[in-house]
Amino acid sequence: MTSAFDVLGIGNAIVDVISRADDGFLAQHGLVKGSMMLIDEERAETLYAAMGPGIEVSGGSCGNTMAGVASFGGKGAYVGKVRDDQLGKVFGHDITAIGVSFDTPRAQAGPSTARCLILVTPDAQRTMNTYLGACTGLGPDDIDPKLVGSAQVTYVEGYLWDAPAAKQAVLKAFDAAHANGRLVSITLSDSFCVNRYRDEFRGLVRNQIDILFGNEAEIKSLYEVETFEEAMAATRREAKIAVLTRSDKGSLVVKGDETWAVPAAPVTKVVDTTGAGDLYASGFLFGFTHGKPLAECARLGGLAAAEVISHVGARPEQALRGLI
Amino acid sequence: MTSAFDVLGIGNAIVDVISRADDGFLAQHGLVKGSMMLIDEERAETLYAAMGPGIEVSGGSCGNTMAGVASFGGKGAYVGKVRDDQLGKVFGHDITAIGVSFDTPRAQAGPSTARCLILVTPDAQRTMNTYLGACTGLGPDDIDPKLVGSAQVTYVEGYLWDAPAAKQAVLKAFDAAHANGRLVSITLSDSFCVNRYRDEFRGLVRNQIDILFGNEAEIKSLYEVETFEEAMAATRREAKIAVLTRSDKGSLVVKGDETWAVPAAPVTKVVDTTGAGDLYASGFLFGFTHGKPLAECARLGGLAAAEVISHVGARPEQALRGLI
C-alpha cells in the first residue's frame, strides 16, 4: 500500500521558553524536577516573571518527534492547534521549515498559542510548566480521515488527554487509521499524565495501540507496579509492540515473547534532556516506516535521543539523516 | 558624583530569529555576508518563509550590550521601543530578568515588535536582516533627562540613525548627559550604517562623543581611508577615546597620543559571531564605569566577546562576572 506520509503526528502545539534555573528556584516555586505540570495563564505569567532570560523555540512533544522524523528524511505530517498570533506563526514556520506538512487551521480567537516554561537545572534535567492555551481548541473537526489514511503510522502524545476535545480528535484519527489498514502509536508522555488517565490508557494499549512508547516511570505507573521487570511483564501481556526507554540504560523492544535490548548511544556531555523521549520516538518510527528490524529502529531512536540531549532545546540541531 | 546606573543604553529593541543557512541561501536571496540589511515587513515575511527552523532570542545591539553589563554585575538601564505583542513581552522579560532596568512604554498600536532574521553560515559568520517595526516609534518623549543624568555613561548604537525620531531621542539624551557632567558613547554599528550617516557620525565624534566604539571596517568607512593605520590616525585626531576592535587581532584603545593594544581572548571554537562587538562594548563599559585602566577595560571587552562567539546567540550564556 503506497502512503503519502510515513508518520502523521497529533500533538499539543507548543512554543518552549527555555531558561536555566537552580534547584532553589524549583523549590521556591513548588516545582517537581523532571515533571510536566499544567498551569493556567495567571500562573504562567507569575512564573515567567520570576524566570531568568529565555530562548523561545518550537516544541511540543509530538512536534519534536515530527521534526525528528523529517530530519531523518522521513515524510511527516502534523496536526496541532495554535492561535493566529506571533508564537503561533513561529510554531508553524519551524515545523514547516523542517519539512513537515502542517495545515491545521489556526484559531482566530480564544486563548493564545501554548507555551511551555522549561527550567533546565545544572544537572541537565528539565522541569516543564505548560500553559495549554490554544491547544484546548483542537477537536475532531481538525482530523481529516483521508490524511490519516495516507500515513503508515498515526502517532499521538498522551498529553492530548489533558484537552478533552483533543482526545476525541485522537479517537477519530485512530478509527480512520485502522479503517484504512494503518497503524496507531502513542507515547505515555509522563508518569503524572499516566496517573491522570491510567484506565483509559490501559484500555487503549489493550484494544487499539499498535506501538506503545513509554519510559520506566511511565510503564510502572501504567500498571501500578514497583519494578521495571513487573512493568515489562505487564506490558508484554497487554501491548502489541512496546518500546521501553530507560535513559542511559538504553531501550527495550517487547513484542509477544520476544525482546530486543539496545544500549544507549554515547553522549559526550548531557546538556539538556528536554526532548530525549520525543526524539527517540522519531528515530524508532523513521526506522519502522522504512522497514527496518525492531532492533535497528531502537538504535536509531537512541541516536536521535543522544543528539538532542547534547545541546539546549528539544529539536535536532544537525540533520539526523547524517547519523544513520 | 553618585550614580544610580553605570550605563544607560539606548537602542533598537529587537527579537532575533536565528537560523542556520549555507552560502547558497545567502546568494539566492541577495544577502551580503556579515552585514546588516534593513528590510520592510513584506520582505521579512518572504525571507522568514524561506528560512529554516529558528530560535527566538532577545537581541538588539545595545540590548545585548546592556545584558552584558548586567551579567558582569554592573547597574544598567535600557531605553528602546517594543509593541504590546508577544515578542515585545519576550524582549521586556529577558532584559529585565537579567537585571537591566527597562521602563520605556510599549507601543499600543502601529508596527509589531522588531525582528532581526539572522542567518548563521557554517563559517560562524552572521548575516542580519532587520525589520525595525515598533523601533521607529522611539522618540524624544521616551527620554527622561533625570534617568540620563543618573547614569555614568549613556551608550547608544549608530543603528538608531535608521529611525529619524530615535536620532532625536539620542541627541536629547546626549544633551541631558553632558548637562549633568556625564559621558556619552556610541558604537558605529556597521560599515553600511556608517556609509548612510557618515557626515553626522563624524560631527558627533568630533563634538560630542566621549567614547567611540568601532571595528576596522567601520572606522575605515567613517574616514574613507584604505588602511587600518590611516583610520586609526584619523580617529586619534578626532575622537576623545576610541576603542577599535579587530576580531581575532584583538583591540586597541586610542586616546590622544597614547595607544593600548590588547590581544583577543582565546576561543576554543567560534560558533556564531553574532553579538561579538556588542559584548565587547559591555566589558569595556563595565570596566570603565568601575574605574579600571583602559587596557583592563579592553581586556574585559575581549573576554565578553569570546564568551558570546562560543555559542549560538548574542547574549551571554554564563555569568560574565565569573570571567573577571
Chain pair A-B, CB pairs under 8 angstroms: 60
Residue ranges of chain B with per-residue pLDDT less than 50? none
Smallest Cβ–Cβ distance between A53 and the set B53, B97, B112 belongs to B97
Smallest Cβ–Cβ distance between B52 and the set A56, A57, A97 belongs to A97
Cβ distance B57 to A58 less than 8 Å, yes or no, reads no
Residue B18, classed as helix, strand or coil, is strand
- Residue A51 contacts B, CB cutoff 8 Å: yes
> Whats the size of chain B, residue-wise?
324
Cβ distance A56 to B52 less than 8 Å, yes or no, reads no
- Residue B100 contacts A, CB cutoff 8 Å: no
pLDDT of A242 higher than 80: yes
* Res B1: pLDDT: 64
- Residue A49 contacts B, CB cutoff 8 Å: yes
- B270-295 pLDDT, tens digit each: 999 999 999 999 999 999 999 999 99
Query: Which residue of chain A comes nearest to B56, CA vs CA?
Result: A56
**DSSP label of B105:** P
Distance, CA of B128 to CA of B274 (rounded, Å): 9
- A217-238 pLDDT, tens digit each: 999 999 999 999 999 999 999 9
Distance, CA of A96 to CA of A73 (rounded, Å): 14
Query: Which residue of chain B comes nearest to A318, CA vs CA?
Result: B20
Q: Report percent pLDDT > 90 for chain A.
A: 95
- Report the b/e string of A91-129 with b at 16+ CB within 10 A: bbbbbbbbbbbbebebbeeebbbbbbbbbbbeebbbbbb
* Res A72: pLDDT: 98
* Res A1: pLDDT: 63
- A145-171 pLDDT, tens digit each: 999 999 999 999 999 999 989 999 999
- Residue B93 contacts A, CB cutoff 8 Å: yes
Angle at B117 between CA A98 and CA A46, to 5 degrees: 85
Is residue A35 in some structural domain?
no
* Res B312: pLDDT: 87
- B61-106 pLDDT, tens digit each: 999 999 999 999 999 999 999 999 999 999 999 999 999 999 999 9
State the pLDDT confidence band at A312, using cuts at 50, 70 and 90.
confident
**What ranges in B12-162 are assigned the alpha helix state H?**
23-28, 41-50, 61-71, 86-97, 145-149
Is residue A295 in some structural domain?
yes
CATH code of the domain in which B247 resides: 3.40.1190.20
Cβ distance B93 to A49 less than 8 Å, yes or no, reads yes
CB atoms within 10 A of CB B41: 13
Calculate the average pLDDT of chain A.
96
- Residue A106 contacts B, CB cutoff 8 Å: no
- Sequence letter at residue B166: A
Cβ distance A85 to B90 less than 8 Å, yes or no, reads no
Cβ distance B98 to A313 less than 8 Å, yes or no, reads no
Q: Which residues in A lie closer than 8 A to residue B97 (C-beta atoms)? A: 19, 51-54
Smallest Cβ–Cβ distance between B55 and the set A53, A56, A85 belongs to A56
Is residue A176 in some structural domain?
yes
Which CA distances in Å does A277 have to A251, A301, B62, B102?
Answer: 11, 9, 39, 39
- CA–chain centroid gap for B52, Å, is 26
Q: What is the CA radius of gyration of chain A?
A: 18
The residue with cell 521579512 is B44
H/E/C letters for each residue in A256-322? Answer: CCEEEEECCCCCCCCCCCCCHHHHHHHHHHHHHCCCCCHHHHHHHHHHHHHHHCCCCCCCCCCCHHH
Is residue A43 in some structural domain?
no
- Residue A176 contacts B, CB cutoff 8 Å: no
- Residue A112 contacts B, CB cutoff 8 Å: yes
Summarize the confidence of residues A78-86 as an average pLDDT: 98
- Residue A117 contacts B, CB cutoff 8 Å: no
Distance, CA of B178 to CA of B183 (rounded, Å): 6
Interface test with A, best of B55, B57, B83, B120 (most A CBs within 10 A): B55
**DSSP label of B274:** T
* Res B324: pLDDT: 86
Structure pTM?
0.95
Burial (CB < 10 A; 0-12, 13-18, 19+), residue A32, is exposed
Is residue A273 in some structural domain?
yes
Query: Which residue of chain B comes nearest to A88, CA vs CA?
Result: B86
pLDDT of A324 higher than 90: no
Distance, CA of A17 to CA of A201 (rounded, Å): 29
- Sequence letter at residue B252: L
CB atoms within 10 A of CB B109: 8
* Res A15: pLDDT: 98
Nearest to B160 by CA among B171, B151, B150: B171
Distance, CA of B96 to CA of B100 (rounded, Å): 5
What is the torsional sign of CA A149, A153, A158, A159? negative
CB-based contacts of B27-36 (< 8 A; 24+ apart in sequence): B31/B119, B31/B127, B31/B129, B32/B127, B33/B121, B33/B125, B33/B127, B34/B125, B34/B126, B34/B127, B35/B127, B35/B128, B35/B190, B35/B191, B35/B192, B36/B116, B36/B128, B36/B129, B36/B130, B36/B159, B36/B189, B36/B190, B36/B192, B36/B193
- Sequence letter at residue A288: F
List phi, psi (to 5°) of B77.
-130, 150
Domain tally, chain B:
1
pLDDT of A94 higher than 70: yes
Cβ distance B93 to A55 less than 8 Å, yes or no, reads no
Is residue A142 in some structural domain?
yes
Is residue A17 in some structural domain?
no
What is the residue range of B79's domain? Answer: 5-323
Cβ distance B94 to A54 less than 8 Å, yes or no, reads yes
